[in-house]
């Protein structure tokens, strides 16, 4: 089948390359001339494992091409996918649909025979209706159908997710469109991937509901982690204990610094807005977003507490900046809030990330970027794991300890266990787990007071109060 993919962002490029790999004839279209020229040379604008090879292979085989011009791609296609961005609109948090509607108008001009127009971008309920209206108005003569086919790809695992999906959701109103979509996904159907055919509005809402539910799951376990820290329980064991119940499931129960990325924060926000407009407020999702926002910055306080309460004149080494591993994406990454809060509290920040430093430099200019985890840790008062990249799972603690000013590890992804790190002479603070100083029953508050001295540093009364309250709750003897 001939497919046109409008937009060569993350979703468009991955979907286009995968459809080509299924044997379809795909043209990816983008207005950005430089991007298209680069793609034609085999230069991929995003970091996604396996995408490079997939694009090169299918381009060589003649199934995947790139163009800045819609005319031929749309005119000859059985299906035209709209995969342009839907950023949060400045000011009100609604999804900005201007790119979608512009694409719809441009597609309308080029339609020839019966064509299925598919929205792949995450769009609020009713967008398919509006796309249909725009095209109908521009081209009353055109024969077309509009379908919603949301994507459920995770960055870093997108190709696998596309080729082995848990399900495919197709929202349609015209039987002919259903047939085209069934043909397009036939290779997956043969793999027994469930295809769910629904009404168009149902498909649109399914996407938001899926992301909101996953964000809720993460936020739920993050709050349970906070409680674990206070009562001396282990969140990983709690997560396993509940996750083994099939009705709950073990996935997306990893406590951490809060969710980030280009999807969960934006999509939960957009769902909240839509729900308010329809007078069906989603109070759980509203709470999820609010809790998550506060959480990211609160991680910096965790670092301060581990270092005795103050970060003035302290150097903090951060490992991992991207919102999750195996991507260079910094959008809404918890690291942004963590770094900003650390700097606000007076710390100097050093950072290392295997793929995200170029992107990070744009949003976090006042950071010293380093070439390796070890050069990052040199002279630091604490090491903080923010993103759980594979290469941080077997750090050489003896080497780190030699070059650091003091040996503290704050592990925001629970990569390590307190005992193993303590054996290497490091103090350890994880998320929602027994921490080494609690384990060792070390009265850390005393250390704090003696180190700081009664007036040697200008510690704020508020910081001290918060520290004491925390120490008290943990029972470390304020
Ligand atoms: C998410 C969904 O998982 C995809 O199904 C969906 O297609 C995509 O959004 C989208 O709408 O386009 P993605 O944003 O790539 O995918 O990343 P996730 O792997 O879902 O992680 C999102 C955030 O949640 C990350 O910051 C991650 O660290 C955090 N997370 C995830 C946790 O803190 N704990 C977990 O247990 C899982």
Pocket test for ligand 1, best of 218, 267, 414, 430 (most atoms within 8 A of CB): 218
Per DSSP, what are the bridge partners of residue 478?
none
Q: How far apart are CA 54 and CA 17, in angstroms?
A: 6
CATH fold, domain 2-198, is Rossmann fold (3.40.50)
- The DSSP output letter for 28 is E
- Which one of 228, 263, 370, 376 is the catalytic residue? 263
Q: How far apart are CA 366 and CA 339, in angstroms?
A: 9
Low-confidence ranges of the chain (pLDDT < 70): 436-478
Cβ burial, residue 327 (10 Å; 0-12/13-18/19+): buried
The CATH class given to the 295-447 domain equals: alpha beta
Q: Tell me, in angstroms, the distance from the centre of ligand 1 to residue 155's CA.
A: 8
Residue closest via CA to ligand 1's atom 16 equals 154
Q: How many other β-carbons are positioned within 10 Å of the β-carbon of residue 89?
A: 15
Q: How far apart are CA 462 and CA 345, in angstroms?
A: 12
Q: Kindly list the protein residues whose Cβ atom lies closer than 6 A to any atom of ligand 1.
A: 122, 151-155, 211, 214, 218, 252-254, 256, 259-261, 263-264, 267, 323-324
β-bridge pairing 79-82 and 2-6: parallel
Question: Which among 435, 443, 433 is positioned nearest to 227, based on CA atoms?
Answer: 433
Q: Tell me, in angstroms, the distance from the centre of ligand 1 to residue 218's CA.
A: 9
Note the pLDDT of residue 448: 37
Task: Indicate if 295-447 has the same CATH topology as 2-198.
Answer: yes
Question: Which among 88, 102, 169, 162 is positioned nearest to 130, based on CA atoms?
Answer: 102
The pTM for the full model equals 0.88
Whether 376 is catalytic: no
Domain ranges of the chain: 2-198, 295-447
Residue range 57-109, pLDDT digits in tens: 999 999 999 999 999 999 999 999 999 988 877 777 777 899 999 999 999 99
Q: Tell me, in angstroms, the distance from the centre of ligand 1 to residue 127's CA.
A: 24
Note the pLDDT of residue 463: 53
How many angstroms separate the Cα of 13 from the Cα of each of 45, 115, 233, 402, 467?
Answer: 10, 21, 44, 45, 48
Cβ burial, residue 1 (10 Å; 0-12/13-18/19+): middle
Question: Which among 148, 149, 190, 145 is positioned nearest to 168, based on CA atoms?
Answer: 149
Structure-block tokens of residue 128: 């398919």
DSSP 217-251: HHHHHHHHHHHHHHHT--HHHHHHHHHTSTTT-ST
Question: Which among 390, 395, 413 is positioned nearest to 49, based on CA atoms?
Answer: 390
């Amino acid at each position: 089948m001939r497919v046109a993919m409008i937009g060569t962002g993350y979703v468009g490029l991955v979907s286009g390359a995968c459809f080509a790999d299924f044997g379809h004839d795909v043209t990816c279209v983008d207005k950005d001339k430089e991007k298209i020229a680069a793609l034609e040379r085999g230069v991929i604008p995003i970091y996604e494992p396996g995408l490079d090879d997939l694009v090169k292979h299918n381009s060589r085989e003649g199934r995947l091409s790139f163009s800045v011009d819609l005319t031929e791609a749309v005119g000859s296609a059985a299906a035209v996918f709209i995969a342009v961005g839907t950023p949060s609109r400045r000011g009100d948090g609604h999804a900005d649909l201007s790119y979608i509607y512009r694409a719809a108008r441009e597609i309308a001009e080029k339609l020839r025979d019966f064509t299925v127009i598919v929205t792949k971008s995450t769009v609020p309920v009713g967008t398919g209706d509006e796309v249909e209206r725009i095209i109908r108005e521009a081209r009353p003569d055109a024969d077309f159908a509009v379908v919603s086919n949301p994507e459920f790809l995770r960055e870093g695992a997108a190709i696998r997710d596309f080729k082995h999906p848990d399900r495919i959701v197709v929202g349609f109103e015209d039987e002919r469109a259903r047939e085209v979509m069934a043909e397009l996904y036939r290779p997956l159907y043969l793999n027994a991937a469930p295809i769910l055919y629904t009404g168009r509005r149902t498909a649109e809402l399914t996407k938001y509901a899926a992301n909101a539910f996953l964000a809720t799951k993460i936020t739920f376990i993050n709050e349970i982690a906070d409680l674990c820290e206070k009562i001396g329980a282990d969140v990983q064991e709690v997560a396993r204990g509940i996750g083994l119940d099939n009705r709950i499931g073990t996935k997306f129960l990893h406590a951490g610094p809060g969710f980030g990325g280009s999807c969960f924060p934006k999509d939960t926000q957009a769902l909240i807005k839509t729900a308010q407009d329809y007078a069906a407020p989603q109070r759980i999702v509203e709470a999820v977003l609010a809790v998550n926002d506060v959480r990211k910055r609160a991680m910096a306080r965790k670092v301060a507490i581990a270092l005795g309460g103050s970060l003035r004149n302290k150097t903090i080494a951060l490992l991992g900046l991207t919102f999750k591993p195996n991507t260079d994406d910094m959008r809404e990454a918890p690291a942004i809030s963590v770094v900003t809060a650390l700097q606000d509290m007076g710390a100097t920040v050093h950072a290392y990330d295997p793929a995200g430093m170029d992107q990070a430099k744009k949003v976090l200019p006042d950071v010293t970027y380093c070439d390796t985890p070890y050069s990052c840790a040199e002279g630091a008062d604490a090491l903080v794991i923010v993103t759980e990249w594979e290469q941080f799972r077997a750090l050489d603690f003896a080497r780190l300890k030699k070059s650091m000013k003091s040996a503290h590890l704050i592990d925001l992804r629970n990569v390590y266990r307190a005992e193993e790190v303590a054996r290497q002479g490091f103090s350890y603070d994880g998320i929602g787990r027994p921490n080494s100083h609690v384990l060792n029953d070390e009265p850390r508050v005393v250390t704090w007071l003696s180190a700081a001295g009664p007036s040697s540093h200008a510690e704020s009364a508020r910081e001290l109060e918060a520290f004491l309250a925390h120490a008290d709750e943990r029972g470390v003897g304020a």
